[in-house]
Amino acid sequence: MGSRRKFLEKVSLTTVGLPLLSTPLNLFATSCEPYEGPILKVAIMGLGSYGTRVAEAMQTCTRAKLVGVISGTPSKIEKWKEKYNIPEKNCYNYENYDAIKDNPDIDAVYIITPNGLHKEQTLKVAKTGKHVICEKPMGINAAEGQAMVDGCKAANVKLLIGYRMHFEPKTMAAIKMRQDGEFGQPKFFQGQSGFTIGDPTQWRLNKELSGGGAMMDIGIYSINGARYMLGEDPIWITAQETKTDPVKFKEGIDETIQFQMGFPSGAVANCLSTYAMNNLDRFYMTGSDGFVEMQPSTGYGPIEGRTHKGPLPQPHVTHQTLQMDGMAALIYDGVQPIVPVDGEEGVKDMKIIDAIFLAAKTGKKVEL
């Protein structure tokens, strides 16, 4: 019996397996038995807005626990120590975190800092012998992503990317339906990912720290979504960029990009990535025999979805709670989520982003 099957049998009795189960029946499975397996002990690096969201979500994890922090701001460390009961010996700053190698209380570091810092920080954490969980986008281009994959392999640690949608129940149900052939042959994907960005001085609009604009931050959801909804990787890209505010969106910071992707089966995708419009969080995929529409599709939830058969009924569970329990299951039991969350998966998206930037710049079709 495969380890996934064993795990599913185990979790159907305990709720631990929420991220892996897509039917409402299984999602509500409960047990009084406490979880007794290994716990993934995590230090968060970067105590900003998303780091805070992950920390809160981890309070209800079964298999993962927040035990440490890495931050350049002592006042934040003090606050987190008190709020999450983090011992002083598990607190680090950006100068001394290589000392984590001598700390047996920490199994993994979750990097939640600006994109332009991910590569260096990943390589440094890998050298401590701790697993790395890194936020999306994994770096600022595919070469960085590949260096991160290679560095983690050489250090014999896992590299996982914060693709929380790969653990989201309605998303997983839609992917499962596609895998089961319920939409027939997938033909077309439409992804709209965007919001109106505020403060012009934030790191997201600084090329060195962000690596780009909306595409790195939010457009990546349509890229990744096209791949998991259609079940293929693209072979060509075309892209067109629009910039209405060149003062706010400087050279190298994309405001709006429309892009098209072609897939080996003949399926096509048409997507929009933007920092200049709100209410853009929608996926639509149609196949020869049916369709799925998700709106919202990648926000923090609840995600809403319907297919030609009716609404997707799976309940909302905090994405980051499912993700961290799922990542613990992956690390300790080798349980793979329905779509991978490893470094190689991250590199695939980075290659597509590189190609989109090239296609937008040259106006030419880019083959992958």
Residues acting as catalytic residues: 136, 221
CB nearer to ligand NAD: give 186 or 191. Answer: 191
Q: Which residue is nearest to ligand NAD (CB)?
A: 48
What gap in Å lies between CA 214 and CA 353, rounded to an integer?
11
Give the nearest distance from C-beta 47 to ligand NAD in angstroms.
Answer: 5
Q: Tell me whether residue 136 or residue 187 sits nearer to ligand NAD (CB atom).
A: 136
Q: Provide the binding-site residues for ligand NAD, judged by CB under 6 A.
A: 46-51, 72, 112-115, 117, 135-136, 162, 164, 203, 209, 217
Q: How far is the CB of 325 from ligand NAD (least distance, A)?
A: 16
Copy the structure tokens of residue 155: 């250090």
Who's near 130: CB < 8 A, 6+ residues apart?
100, 101, 106, 107, 108, 109, 157
Residue number with CB closer to ligand NAD (72 or 74):
72
The sign one gets for the Cα dihedral 123, 125, 129, 133 is negative
To ligand NAD, the closest distance from the beta carbon of 247 in angstroms equals 21
Min. distance of Cβ 117 from ligand NAD in angstroms? 6
Omega before 296 within 30 of 0, i.e. cis: yes
> Please, what is the minimum distance in Å from the beta carbon of residue 115 to ligand NAD?
5
Among residues 168 and 354, whose Cβ is nearest to ligand NAD?
Answer: 168
Q: Tell me the closest approach of the beta carbon of residue 72 to ligand NAD, in angstroms.
A: 6
Query: Cβ closer to ligand NAD: 72 or 129?
Result: 72
Long-range contacts of the stretch 357-366 (C-beta < 8 A, 24+): 357/212, 357/215, 357/239, 357/254, 359/237, 359/238, 359/239, 359/259, 360/239, 360/240, 360/241, 360/254, 360/257, 360/259, 361/241, 363/240, 364/238, 365/236, 365/237, 365/238, 366/236, 366/237, 366/238
What single string gives the DSSP state of each residue in 293-361?
A: EESS-SSSS---EEETTEE--PPP--HHHHHHHHHHHHHHH----SS--BHHHHHHHHHHHHHHHHHHH
**Based on CB atoms, which residue is closest to ligand NAD, 258 or 318?**
318
Torsion angle of C-alpha atoms 286, 277, 261, 213, degrees rounded to 10 = -150
Secondary structure class of 96 (helix, strand, coil): coil
Q: Which is nearer to ligand NAD, 162 or 326 (CB)?
A: 162
Report how far residue 272's alpha carbon sits from residue 270's, in angstroms, rounded to the nearest whole number: 7
Q: In angstroms, give the least distance from the CB of 318 to ligand NAD.
A: 12
